[in-house]
């Protein structure tokens, strides 16, 4: 059994949407399978050391908090990129997602540099996009799954041509309310606006992230994790998905 090492970026700043719950889900699902989740907070003064962590997590924050950490994160872009190239996984939610692109222009016109890890840019719009969201995703070839979550963002995120979204919007706004896509995926790096938090309602995504982290830890392929009794998690997903569908499909 392995210790899965998680680097939690800026937990004192990017934490406003209960997204710490994602860490709790990863820890519990790892423990049920005999693994240990070792979480290290990485703040302003902490370096990113490639190879030191198997999974990096970045939560959400308002424009003020993003402005406080943006330059610091951009300065750490190269070691973060090297960590990903060496096989580390990343989950970035809402504000963290925006800061993994090339940059974010906030609601009051502040230009914030991004880490450039994902091929996208974000500009805040006048109207917030709020509500339950349902996506169709295919992280593994031939395995289509749904993701249910909640979005609350003014940012309009535009993916570069050819960039891979996390999923297709079945209900909700997604990246920009126009394209029909939500989030972005580049290998083991996932960015998304879905929070509230995301993983309790979508245990299959938590397991996918754990498998990617274990692959980095062992230097092998992502393992097939033993299934868990996910009746409550499945019910939470169904409730969230039904709320999203009640909004009506937008795309």
Structural domain contains residue 107: yes
Length of the chain: 251
CB atoms within 10 A of CB 167: 25
CA dist., res. 251 & res. 248, Å (int): 9
CATH of the domain at 183: 3.40.50.880
Average pLDDT, the chain: 95
251 located within any domain = no
CA distance 3 to 104: 35
Q: For residue range 93-117, what is the model confidence (pLDDT) as tens digits?
A: 999 999 999 999 998 899 999 999 9
Residue 189 lies in domain: 3-246
Distance of CA 49 to the CA centre of its chain: 20
The pLDDT of residue 140: 94
Q: Residue 101: its pLDDT value, please?
A: 98
Strand partners, 28: none
Secondary structure class of 236 (helix, strand, coil): helix
Q: Is residue 173 part of a domain?
A: yes
What pLDDT score does 249 carry?
55
What percent of the chain stands above pLDDT 70? 98
- For residue 35, give the 3-state DSSP assignment: coil
109 burial type by CB count under 10 A (0-12 exposed, 13-18 middle, 19+ buried): exposed
Is residue 20 domain-resident? Answer: yes
pLDDT digits (tens, 9 = 90+) for 113-164: 999 999 999 999 999 999 999 999 999 999 999 999 999 999 999 999 999 9
227 in any annotated domain:
yes
Residues recognised as catalytic = 94, 195
For the chain, the domain total comes to: 1
Residue of 161, 130, 150, 162 whose CA lies nearest to 192: 150
Q: Per residue in 23-77, pLDDT tens?
A: 999 999 999 999 999 999 999 999 999 999 999 999 999 999 999 999 999 999 9
């Amino acid at each position: 059994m392995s210790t899965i090492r998680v680097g939690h970026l800026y937990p004192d700043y990017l934490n406003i949407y209960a997204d710490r719950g994602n860490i709790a889900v990863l820890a519990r699902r790892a423990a049920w399978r005999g693994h240990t989740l070792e979480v290290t907070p990485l703040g302003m003064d902490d370096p990113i050391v490639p190879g030191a962590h198997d999974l990096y997590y970045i939560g959400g924050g308002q424009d003020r908090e993003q402005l406080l950490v943006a330059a610091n994160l951009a300065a750490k872009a190269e070691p973060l990129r090297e960590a990903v190239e060496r096989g580390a996984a990343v989950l970035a939610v809402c504000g963290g997602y925006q800061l993994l692109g090339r940059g974010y222009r906030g609601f009051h016109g502040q230009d914030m540099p991004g880490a450039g890890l994902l091929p996208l840019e974000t500009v805040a719009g006048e109207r917030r996009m709020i509500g339950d969201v349902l996506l169709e995703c295919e992280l593994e070839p031939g395995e289509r799954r749904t993701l249910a979550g909640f979005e609350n963002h003014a940012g309009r995120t535009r993916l570069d041509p050819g960039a891979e979204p996390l999923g297709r919007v079945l209900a909700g706004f997604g990246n920009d309310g126009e394209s029909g896509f939500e989030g972005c995926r580049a290998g083991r790096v996932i960015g998304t606006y879905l929070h509230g938090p995301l993983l309790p309602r979508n245990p299959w995504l938590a397991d996918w992230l754990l498998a990617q982290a274990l692959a980095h830890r062992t230097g092998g392929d992502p393992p097939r994790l033993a299934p868990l009794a996910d009746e409550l998690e499945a019910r939470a997903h169904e409730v969230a998905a039904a709320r999203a569908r009640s909004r009506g499909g937008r795309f």
